[in-house]
């Protein structure tokens, strides 16, 4: 392994994670603020759009996985379902209980989600070492 590879991987993850987050937040904003969709439904649709983008960019550019997409998509979606629970749970906690602005809450939730998703992708989904963590 090249000594710069881990740094490049983190850089690419942050770059594509940032774009994924941007897709998530912009989609949320368009749905929730522009067409007045319920924030929970808007969060769900924004999450779906972001997950599709993230799978293909993480597989292709970040972790450069050559394994079959079918072997990775189900664990990826499973991990992202957990991150969705983290996302929606954080949104409900911040919006309904703490009464924090929904867009500010969405940004805060995404910080937690990005960290969770990196760990899941790096060590469990796109890990070509066949069982080694």
| All structural domains of the chain with their residue ranges | 5-125
Q: pTM for this one?
A: 0.71
pLDDT computed for residue 43 by the predictor: 86
Binned at pLDDT 50, 70 and 90, residue 128 comes out as low
Return the residue matching tokens 């594509």. 16
pLDDT, tens digit, for every residue of 65-112?
888 777 888 899 899 899 889 989 999 999 999 999 998 998 899 888
pLDDT, tens digit, for every residue of 22-50?
998 899 999 999 999 998 899 889 989 98
Average pLDDT in the chain: 87
111/83 Cα distance (integer angstroms): 11
């Amino acid at each position: 392994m090249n000594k710069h590879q881990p740094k490049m991987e983190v850089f690419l993850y942050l770059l594509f994670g940032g774009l994924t987050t941007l897709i998530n937040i912009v989609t949320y904003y368009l749905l929730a603020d522009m067409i007045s969709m319920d924030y929970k439904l808007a969060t769900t649709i924004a999450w779906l759009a972001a997950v599709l983008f993230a799978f293909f960019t993480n597989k292709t550019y970040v972790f450069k996985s050559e394994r079959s997409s079918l072997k990775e998509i189900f664990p990826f979606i499973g991990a992202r379902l957990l991150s969705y629970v983290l996302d929606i749970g954080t949104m409900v906690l911040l919006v309904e209980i703490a009464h924090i602005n929904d867009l500010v809450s969405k940004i805060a939730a995404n910080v937690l989600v990005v960290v969770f998703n990196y760990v899941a992708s790096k060590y469990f989904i796109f890990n070509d070492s066949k069982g080694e963590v």
